[in-house]
Amino acid sequence: MFKAGDAKKNMYFKTDAEIELLRQSCLLVCKVLAQVGRTLKPGMTGRQLDTAAEALIRDHGAVPAFKGYRDFPDTLCISINEQVVHGIPSDYEFRDGDVVSVDCGTILNGFVGDAAYTFAIGNVKPATMELLHVTNTSLYKGIEQAVHGKRIGDIGWAIQTYCEKVHPYGVVRDLVGHGVGKDLHEDPEVPNHGKRGSGVFLRDGLVIAIEPMVNLGTKDVRQAADNWTIITRDNKPSAHYEHSVAIRKGKADILSDHKMIEEAIKNNPELMQISIKS
C-alpha cells in the first residue's frame, strides 16, 4: 500500500508468462505469511517474525521487496491493533487479544509479489473479530469487480459499500492499493472507496494489489513519529487484507493464496480463525 497520489506513472499490461512469474512471487509471499500463521503466539516479537521471514525469502532465491524501499528498514510491515499499516518490526512482545497485520513483499525472477493478512491472537474482542471478518470479506467483494471491462471505481465502490453502508466501519482514504509488476508500486492507484463506473478502465493483463484497510471507528489516520507507522486517529483497531490479482475476462485471477495461511492458523491453537461472511 502507499499514499494516494504517490504512484509512478507506469501502467503496464503483462503477458501470460509474466503473470505466471508474478504468481510465483505472490505464492512465496503467502508461504512467508503461512510461516507467521504457524509460529505467531503471545510472547513472540515482530523482530523474530521478521528475521525468520527474510531467511525464508532468501532461501527461495528471492529478496525482500520492502527492505530498503524508500529506506524502510525491514522485510515485513507488522502493524498491531490501532496501527493500520507500515508498522516497523520491534521487540514488543505480542499479547493475548492483539490483532497483527503482516504485509510482505518479495522479488523473485525480477517480479514482485505482494500480499497481507491480519492475525488474531488469543481472546480477541468479538467487535474486533467482526471487523476482521468484514474486512476480509470486502477484499473478495472488490476482487469480484476486478474484471476486464469494469473500472477502478467499481472495486472501491464494492469495498466501501460493504464496509460503510452495510457495516459501521471507516474505510481509510489516505492509503490505496496499486499496480504490481517489476516495480512494487505501479499505476493505477486502487482506492478502497469510489464511485461505480469511474476511474481507469480495467483491461486483461493488468495486475493490481487490492488491499482494504478498514478501521473499527473513524476512517481518519495519522502518522507516528517513526515517519512510517500509520495509526487510527481514534486509536481503535484496524484490519488489513491484501491479494495481488490479474485482470481477466469474466473473472479475476488471484495470484496470491490465503488458503495456505488459513490452514496454518487452523493448526495454531494460539490464533483465532476468521471466516468470510456475506
So what's the pLDDT on residue 13? Answer: 97
**What is residue 6's predicted lDDT score, i.e. its pLDDT?**
46
pLDDT at 7: 47
- Per residue, the 3-state secondary structure of 121-134, as one string, reads ECCCCHHHHHHHHH
The partner residues of 101 in beta bridges, in order of sequence, read 79, 118
pLDDT of residue 116: 98
Domains along the sequence of the chain with CATH? 2-272 (3.90.230.10)
Give the model's pLDDT for residue 1: 53
The pLDDT profile of the chain, 278 residues, written as one tens digit per residue, is 555 554 445 689 999 999 999 999 999 999 999 999 999 999 999 999 999 999 999 999 999 999 999 999 999 999 999 999 999 999 999 999 999 999 999 999 999 999 999 999 999 999 999 999 999 999 999 999 999 999 999 999 999 999 999 999 999 999 999 999 999 999 999 999 999 999 999 999 999 999 999 999 999 999 999 999 999 999 999 999 999 999 999 999 999 999 999 999 999 999 999 975 44
State pTM to two decimals: 0.96
What grid cell was written down for 187? 499505476
Query: H helices of 43-109, where?
Result: 46-59
Q: Which CA distances in Å does 187 have to 70, 144, 149, 222, 231?
A: 17, 20, 17, 24, 25
